[in-house]
A and B are shown apart, each in its own frame.
Chain A
Amino acid sequence: MTQPTSLLRHQVARSALLRQRPGQVIAAVVLSMIVLAAIVPGLFTDGLPYEADPLATLQPPSLTHPFGTDANGRDVFTRVVYGARHSLLAGLGAVALAVTVGTLLGLIAGLGGRIADEIIMRLVDVTMSLPNLLLAMLVLTLAGPGALNSIYAIAIYIAPGYARLVRVQTMVIRRSEYVQAATALGLRRARVVLAHIVPNAFVPLLVLATIEVGTALVAAASLSFLGLGARPPAPEWGAMLAAGRDYFSVAWWTAVFPGLAITFTVLAITVVGGALQRRLEGLDGPEGGN
Chain B
Amino acid sequence: MAVSDGGGAGPGLPDNRPIIEVENLTVTFGAIRAVRGVSFTVRSGECVAIVGESGSGKSVTARTLFGLPGSGATVDATTLRINGRDALTLREKQWRAVRARLGYVLQDALVSLDPLRRVGAEIAEPLRLHGVLARDRVPARVIELLRAVGVPEPQARAAQFPHELSGGLRQRALIASAIACDPDLLVADEPTTALDVSVQAQILRLLAERRREGTALLLISHDLAVVATLADRVLVMKDGVFVEDGPVAQVLEAPSHPYTRALLAAIPGAQSKGKWLSLPTGSAQADPVPAPSTPGPGEVVIEARGLVKRYGTRIAVNDVSFQLRAGQTLGLVGESGSGKTTIGRLVLGLLTPDHGEALVDGVAWSRMSGRRRREVRRHIQVVHQDPLSSFDPRFDVRQILDEALLVGGVPRAQRRARAVELLEQVGLDETMLHRRPARLSGGQRQRLAIARALAPGPRVLVCDEPVSSLDVSVQAQVLDLLVRLQRETGLAYLFISHHLGVIYHMSDEVVVLNDGRVVESGEVGQVFTAPRAEYTRELLAAIPTIRVPAGAGIGGSHAEFPQEATS
Contacts and interface: CB of A to CB of B under 8 A. Distances in A.
Contacts of A286: 438-439
Given A177-B386, A287-B438, A290-B469, A184 B381 contact: yes
A21 to B, nearest CB: 22
A119 to B, nearest CB: 27
Contacts of B439: 286
B392 A196 contact: yes
Chain B contact-residue range equals 20 to 34
A44 interface: no
Contacts of B469: 290
Candidate in A181, A284, A286 with the most chain B CB atoms within 10 angstroms: A181
Contact of A182 (B389, B392, B393, B442): B392
A233 B386 CA distance: 62
A248 interface: no
Given A186-B378, A186-B407, A187-B403, A181 B394 contact: no
A185 B350 contact: no
Contact of A185 (B375, B381, B438): B381
Given A181-B382, A195-B403, A290-B388, A186 B393 contact: no
B377 A287 contact: no
A182 B350 CA distance: 11
B391 interface: yes
A183 B403 CA distance: 11
A177 B394 contact: no
A290 B391 CA distance: 13
B389 A187 contact: no
A178 B395 CA distance: 11
Nearest to A183: B350
B388 A184 contact: no
A178 B438 contact: no
A176 interface: yes
A231 B328 CA distance: 78
Contact of A178 (B350, B381, B389): B389
A199 B393 CA distance: 10
B381 A290 contact: no
Contacts of A287: 388-389, 393, 438
Nearest to A188: B374
A186 B392 contact: no
B163 interface: no
A186 B456 contact: yes
A132 interface: no
Contact of B394 (A187, A200, A290): A200
A176 B403 CA distance: 18
Contact of B384 (A181, A188, A199): A181
A141 interface: no
Interface string A255-290: 000000000000000000000000000001011001
A180 interface: yes
Contacts of B388: 287, 290
Interface in B360-409: 374-378, 381-382, 384, 386, 388-394, 403-404, 406-407
A184 B351 CA distance: 11
A177 B390 contact: yes
Contacts of A176: 389
Nearest to A176: B389
Contacts of B382: 181, 184
A199 B399 CA distance: 14
B387 to A, nearest CB: 9
B452 interface: yes
Interface in B427-469: 438-439, 442, 452, 456, 469
B35 interface: no
B348 interface: yes
B241 to A, nearest CB: 25
Nearest to B469: A290
A178 B442 contact: no
A290 B392 contact: no
A184 B392 contact: no
Interface in B51-77: none
Contacts of A177: 384, 386, 389-390
Nearest to A197: B392
A183 B384 CA distance: 13
A187 B389 CA distance: 18
Contacts of B456: 185-186
A186 B389 contact: no
Contact of B391 (A178, A186, A187, A284): A178
Contacts of B377: 183-186
Contacts of A195: 392, 403
Nearest to B441: A290
Interface in B241-255: none
Contacts of A181: 382, 384, 390-391
Nearest to B438: A286
A186 B384 CA distance: 16
A182 B377 CA distance: 10
A156 to B, nearest CB: 31
A178 B391 CA distance: 5
A180 B403 CA distance: 14
Nearest to B391: A178
Contacts of B452: 185
A186 B389 CA distance: 18
A282 to B, nearest CB: 11
A177 B384 CA distance: 9
Interface of A: 176-178, 180-188, 195-196, 199-200, 203, 284, 286-287, 290
Q: Which 9 A-B pairs have the closest CB atoms?
A: A186-B377, A181-B390, A177-B389, A286-B438, A186-B407, A177-B390, A178-B392, A186-B374, A186-B378
Given A181-B391, A186-B377, A284-B393, 8 more contacts: A177-B389, A178-B389, A180-B350, A182-B392, A185-B403, A185-B404, A187-B403, A200-B394
Interface of B: 348, 350, 374-378, 381-382, 384, 386, 388-394, 403-404, 406-407, 438-439, 442, 452, 456, 469
25 contacts: A177-B384, A177-B389, A177-B390, A178-B389, A178-B391, A180-B350, A180-B390, A181-B382, A181-B384, A181-B390, A182-B392, A182-B403, A183-B350, A183-B377, A184-B350, A185-B403, A186-B374, A186-B407, A187-B374, A187-B403, A187-B407, A199-B394, A200-B392, A284-B393, A287-B393
